[in-house]
Structure 1
Amino acid sequence: MKAPYDEVDITPFNYAVSLIGGKWKMQILFWLWKHEIMRYSEIKKALGEVTHKMLSNRLKELESDGLIIRHEYPGVPPKVEYYLSEKGQSLMPVLQSICQWGHEHIEDNNIQ
């Protein structure tokens, strides 16, 4: 007899979590969702305590996974902007649902 968990295909869930899991990824996506186009310094300021190395790594991962687009304009110093890709945009209803859930339950723990 099969165990109930043998019939569940967790692969799609694991894939989705691998893209958005990890510290700062969801916050980066949130800010790009709300501001559409942001420069590196704007993202860093919006996140607050993130280190340069952490932010740089997370942006590279999100770009590699196809969730954000990095556009570099020629010049000295080069101007770089980040924005959500089509794939990243398709994730925004999920982020919106998480935000809505947060609004509905924020009072539960007196978190503000």
Structure 2
Amino acid sequence: MKARSVVFSPEAREDLLILGDWIAERAGPATALRYLARLEAACLGLSTASERGRRRDDIRPGLRVVGFERRITIAFVVSQEQVTILRLHYGGLDWDRKSDPI
């Protein structure tokens, strides 16, 4: 099984910051940090068996999505050498407005 490096796009990094702020406001900073640590570990875990998840070529060629703890959709692409996390979509956030919950 080939191991690939995992990188976060600028948009995915912004998603992490927004999500962390959103959780911290509702459940406290410690809860937000624990949740983000689990989410980051799940993303980094895509370094092995990277071709998992559901293919969504209808949205973008090569796009894959996988769920995390029933609330996050991790959108990523896989190349020969790396996995790029493109976006992290949280079910309770309005992504058009970025910071407001639905």
Do both share a fold (TM > 0.5)? no
Higher helix share: 1
Q: Where is the strand percentage greater, Structure 1 or Structure 2?
A: 2
Larger radius of gyration: 1
Bin for the TM-score computed over the shorter chain: under 0.3
Of structures 1 and 2, the one with the larger relative CO (CA 8 A, separation 6+) is 2
Task: Give the TM-score, by structure 1 length.
Answer: 0.23
TM-score (normalised: structure 2): 0.24
